[in-house]
Chains A and B, each alone.
Chain A
Amino acid sequence: MASATEQIAPQAVGRVERLRKVIDPIILAVLILLGWELMIWIFKFHPVVLPPPSRVWTILSTQGDFLVEHMLVSLKTIVKGFTYGTFLGWLAGIFITYSRTVRKAIQPILVVLFVVPKSIFLPLLILWWGVGSDFPNHKIVITMLLAFFPVTENTIAGLSGVDREMVELTHSLGGSSFLTIRKIALPFSLPFVLAGLRIAMTEAFIGTLFVEILVPNKGIGSRIVDAQDVSNTQFIIAAIMVIAVFGLTAYFLLQWIERRLTKWY
């Protein structure tokens, strides 16, 4: 059991640790870039196979705006799919936990949806709505499907973890089951749900970019396919870097929110 006195952390050690946490990965990244450049110089790779970092940098500096612009188009789909998918996933988790009827009716369908690769629905969705449709949109649906399950699973795990005593606490005071869910179960499950959101965000990136590459139309995934058609390898690598930066930002944003909301945990 943590006591009140165990809270004090040595300040000086913390600062060095934090600095090293930033500096170490930067050193490693620089080393990888140097090794990469050196390897091309030694093995004489053709630039189509592996362009040097300098060429990738040229793309980033001259076409960075273009890349970010298309990344933002993708991001819009990612955020929409993530928002709808996780919200529905959360609701499904709540209803599955608390309603026997819903659980029995919905569980088999969800298991099927969970087990099959989400991409198999793509041809059907495109047949229904075409590739150009803004809403409903095949990309959003695939992204939703991928973002849905981590939140459902974690919501169920969180709500099921509520102690019997906590429930008895409200019931012994005459509180309703609805009140117990609202005041006990939902706050209790919050850390689980937030962890689920973080997984769902990476899944949402996978969903949208995957579909953009498979069925090129809009977004940065489609521009990668364009570059592949003309063997513009440095553009592909530059695009991957832009996607990585956005992916990381989204991940850390959610982690930051998670820490802020669960300081008590």
Chain B
Amino acid sequence: MGIQINDIGKIFETDDLRVEALSGISATVQDNEFISIIGPSGCGKSTLLRLISGLIEPSSGTVLIDDVPVNGPTGDVGFVFQAPTLLKWRTVFNNVMFPYEVLASQRNANASKADFEARAHQLLEMAGLEEFTNAYPKQLSGGMQQRVSICRALIHDPHLLLMDEPFGALDEFTRERMNEELLRIWRETTKTVVFVTHHIPEAVFLSDRIFVMSRRPGTILGEVTIDLPRPRLSEMRESVEFLDSVVETRHLIGLGSGAELLSEDPI
């Protein structure tokens, strides 16, 4: 699923406040590409994701998905939020099945419950959660909860996966493991992924390309193409090519080597 973003701007207006969140954003994402968006807090990364998903409309410009203008949510999107956002009154299995219920409620529904259930079991197994199928979210650790929410985002096999700092709340070790798991899942299912983060090594490890955004109003400062071969392996994190890409991204953001130690306002 290809995405084309044409000169998008977004202004949030309330009675006493006017915030220009995004300005003049243009970008193209290829089918099955893994894209990361990186930038300082409050630069409109999340807003951009919501524009792509059709949850909100741009103030100017257009978003095209497979050459069709986005006009509200399509349902062919999997969304992973920073918090696991699980429905805590449902078991793990019923959380993963939630998209089925939403899709089945719509007029053009042709989803088969049995197919979804089989897929839910398969995804939970892939995420190493099969023994927690009937557990409630409160019984799981943070990392496990986030894995459930990724399973939920994948259950309807969407062509587009939008991830809004999904591993931001995890510790470094869990984060690295989740990165590898995410790439494995992505390889097995082939989807277009747009991944928001402010963790540079994570973006380098996961992505084909990284879009670097500026402070508000968010614009795209530039992009970094990651030439590391796939499948990406854990040991590549220590390779020269990996570190080169990290440095390139850092410079694009405006962090010189060692400069962040002096900076008053790090990312």
**A173 in complex: contacting residue of B87, B90, B156, CB < 8 Å:** B156
Classify the secondary structure of A's interface with B.
Answer: helix
The stretch that binds A, out of B10-18, B133-141, B219-227, is B133-141
What are the residues of chain B within 8 A of A264 when measuring CB–CB?
88-90, 136-138
On whether the beta carbons of B85 and A165 are closer than 8 Å, the reply is: yes
B residues adjacent to A (C-beta < 8 A) = 50, 53-55, 72-75, 77, 79, 81, 83, 85, 87-90, 98-99, 101-103, 105-106, 132, 135-142, 144-145, 156, 162
Q: Which of A160-190 contact B (CB under 8 A)?
A: 163, 165-166, 168-176, 179, 183-184, 187-188, 190
Minimum Cβ distance to chain B for residue A231 (Å): 55
On whether the beta carbons of B53 and A172 are closer than 8 Å, the reply is: yes
A163-B83, A264-B89, A265-B88 given; A3·B55 CB < 8 A = no
On whether the beta carbons of A171 and B141 are closer than 8 Å, the reply is: no
On whether the beta carbons of A169 and B140 are closer than 8 Å, the reply is: no
Classify the secondary structure of B's interface with A.
Answer: loop
Residue on A nearest B156 in the bound complex, by CB: A173
What are the residues of chain A within 8 A of B162 when measuring CB–CB?
172
On whether the beta carbons of A174 and B55 are closer than 8 Å, the reply is: no
What are the 6 A-B residue pairs with the smallest beta carbon separation, nearest first?
A: A174-B75, A175-B102, A173-B102, A264-B136, A1-B142, A165-B85
A176-B105, A183-B101 given; A166·B141 CB < 8 A = no
Provide a sorted-by-A list of 15 A–B residue pairs whose CB atoms are within 8 angstroms.
Answer: A165-B81, A169-B81, A171-B55, A171-B73, A172-B53, A172-B55, A172-B77, A172-B162, A174-B102, A175-B102, A183-B98, A188-B87, A262-B89, A264-B137, A265-B89
Minimum Cβ distance to chain B for residue A259 (Å): 14
